[in-house]
Structure 1
Amino acid sequence: MKIAIDAMGGDYAPKEIVAGVELSRDENPDIQYELFGITDEIKKYLKNDQNIVITQADEVIEMGEEPVRAIRKKKQSSLVLAAQSVSDGKNDAFFSAGNTGAVLAAGLFIIGRIKGIDRPGLTTTLPIVNGKPGMSDKFLMLDVGANADSKPLNLYQFAFMGKYYAQNVLNIENPRVGLLNNGTEPDKGDMLHKEVHELLAANKDLNFIGNVESRELLNGAADVVVTDGFTGNAALKSIEGTALSMLRLIKHGITDGGLRDKMGALLLKNVFGSIADQMDYSKYGGAMFLGLKAPVIKSHGASKAEIVKNSLAQIKTIHESGMISDLVDYVNDHQAELDAIKESVKNRK
């Protein structure tokens, strides 16, 4: 397979992007990597160009730029050229650690949506830290930021797209689908969530388990958690912030404590390491824009080489799984049903 990479996207680009690509290349000699960016800058950090091609891009889309305006104005940017190469069929997938909105806009306007999918959902994989025996050690949540405003049909589509990702990429058989809400009762939430609950409960292709609460997410409440982009992004940042705050509290408690505290921390060093590893969701790769015609993966702007490598491994798994073609077939087979739901939602207003 061939992967197009925005080498100039991210806080540590191109150094960490190039380093991550080389780590990935060393593990996957069957993959071809095309790096788009300022050639001289990329070559500074490239140790070995085996299976790596550099394509000059004269412009860079910065993190703070307005996404749609940026991709329309900067046609020769590394981000736009990488996305265009996927649209043209020269590459199979697109990776960037750059401007999230610009990556989404490039995915929508250059690579394009799967026919029948109204909006893509930004999808991330998170760890389950208190699961039961035989349960997966991770779960999927979408949307986590692609769409601030969502309609019932969007969340309905997120559910079956998430199901396909969980089955084909995370290898979870018959994944449990839950709707993120402020209570587990079927009648909880606003009108949007009540309507989505009704739609999901009526779909016999989904293993829908009902509403789930945010406090139970890391305990394995569901394998696929469906939500709107505003709520999902807030929940994700809350999880990240809580984890970081707890680690800081533990660290300060040890460093500010006496000799007994430091000795205790030394004895528990392996335990702390295990906890940190369990909470490290970056090992699963980046976030995927589900609903596009090709894999589009966005990693955190502060991504270092290891996260870039993991994101590229994620792309390989997605490509080899055939998930996107399966999803296209599902949408085509159920187009009449999706149209009927869309019409029923319109008639309720």
Structure 2
Amino acid sequence: MGYKISIDAMGGDHGLNTTIPAALEAVKKDSNLQIVLVGDHHKVKRALDRYSKLKKIKLPTLQRIAIHHASETVEMDESPSVAVRKKKDSSMRVAVNLVKDGSVNACVSAGNTGALMAISKFVLKTIHGVDRPAIVYALPAYNRETKKLSKTYMLDLGANVVCSSEQLFQFAIMGSILAASSKGIAEPRVSLLNIGEEEMKGLDNIKNAAKLLQSCDFINYNGYIEGKYIFDDSTDVIVCDGFVGNVSLKTMEGTLRLIESLIKKTVVEGSWLMKIPTIMALPLFKKMKKGMNLDSFNGASLLGLTGIVIKSHGSASANAFETAIYEAVKEIKYNIPKTIQESLEKVL
């Protein structure tokens, strides 16, 4: 079965230098994939010609990439309201419009997160039964027993700063469906992020959400989870409000950078007694970094919309953006919006 994805070619910190090579690699590896690059036609065509020659892309593969002109670009620091009201021909807006009118099956953008959420919600609307869409991201998780790296889905990661218990309940259902499809498991474990595992701990909205989840046969509720266990593969879905989720995600990113900086500092500035064991351990650090390579986890889904929209990290490399494209493909194959709607109709 073929599928088609629109890409906001101008979005992100690196724009065409990321989106074009990623698109070329994706269509080269997946013969069922077609891509529509949305942006300034002249600039996109020039970049496409250059990168297709560098990568030696053959004509039959190149023919599965089309260009759709858009005269405007949403800047990374632009307000969502301006993006929605004044930039109706932006590459981001047009890419989402193509999902709305059925021209493509999904959209991928590395652009302004707030603008993408606002545009997507305005154009596509939310699924019946969903109050607000949520941003969900797959985090690396390590199983100490099997010694294998897995994924844990976490939502919301910034779309909704304050959430009611009912909204957290909706997030749990959506996250469970995504995890079941992506990880191939019948009953994904769902946990609420909290300051402790005891039932009496936490804010009222979290405790009330726990009661809703406990009474829902559809959800395999796993109780509360503390922040220190996020990477332990002790659950498949972690639910929280957007404020807590966003702070948690950025703390994780900062911690990884700190560890990397400390290792480099020891190698460059440390005494020989410190340098020797650090240098000897470098292969291990490199292997660990490869296993925790965030490029292979790029691609956050805007869950709860009637169409599929994937948000790539703004500073993503071409490899990372390619991963976001594959996340869109995965959601197309499992028809995530339809599955969410059918499930919500059963439990709400």
Q: Answer yes or no: is 1:138 the counterpart of 2:151.
A: yes
Q: Check whether the contact 1:285–1:312 (CA below 8 A) recurs between aligned residues.
A: no
* Counterparts of 1:10 and 1:82, CA distance in 2: 14
Equivalent residues in 2 for 1:252-291 (5 A)? Answer: 252-259=265-272, 261-291=274-304
Residue-by-residue CA offset, 1:21-45 (whole Å, 9 max, x unaligned): 1111111122111111112221232
User: Would you say how many aligned residue pairs link Structure 1 and Structure 2?
Assistant: 335
SS in 1 for 2:221: strand
Q: Say whether residues 1:242 and 2:251 are aligned partners.
A: no
Aligned to 1:74: 87
Out of 182, 196, 199, which is 1:183 matched to? 196
Q: Is the contact made by 1:123 and 1:289 (CA closer than 8 Å) also made in structure 2? A: yes
**CA deviations over 1:146-190 (Å, ceiling 9, x no partner):** 111211111000001111111101223421111001111011111
CA contact (8 A) 2:295 2:317 kept: no
- The C-alpha deviation readout for 1:234-288, integer Å capped at 9, x for no partner, is 1111111111111111111112124454443443232112210222233023100
Residue by residue, what CA displacement relative to the aligned partner does 1:172-229 show, whole Å, maximum 9, x if unpaired? 3421111001111011111111111111111122111111100111122321000001
Tell whether 2:136 aligns with 1:123.
yes
Mapping of residues 7-18 of structure 1, within 5 Å: 7-18=9-20
Tell me the SS of whatever aligns to 1:177: strand
- Residue in structure 1 matching 2:305, options 292, 305, 317: 292
Q: Percent identity?
A: 35
Taking structure 1 as the reference length, the TM-score comes to 0.92
The CA RMSD over aligned residues, in Å, is 1.6
| 1:100-249 aligned within 5 A | 100-129=113-142, 131-133=144-146, 137-249=150-262
Of 19, 25, 45, the residue aligned with 2:47 is 45
- CA drift of 1:111 comes to 1.6
- Aligned equivalents of 2:144, 2:154: Cα separation in 1: 16
Q: Which residue of 1 aligns with 2:28?
A: 26
TM-score, with structure 2 as normaliser: 0.92
CA deviation digits over 1:264-319, x for unaligned, max 9?
Answer: 34432321122102222330231001111121100111011001111111111111
Q: Structure 1 stretches (4+) deviating beyond 6 angstroms?
A: none
Q: Which consecutive unaligned segments of at least 5 residues does structure 1 have?
A: 339-349
The one-letter code matched in structure 2 to 1:216 is: Y
Gaps of 5+ in 2: 53-61
Letter in 2 for 1:254: V
Which residue pairs with 1:2 in the alignment? 4
Query: 2:295 and 2:183 mapped to 1: Cα distance?
Result: 15
Does 1:314 pair with 2:327? Answer: yes
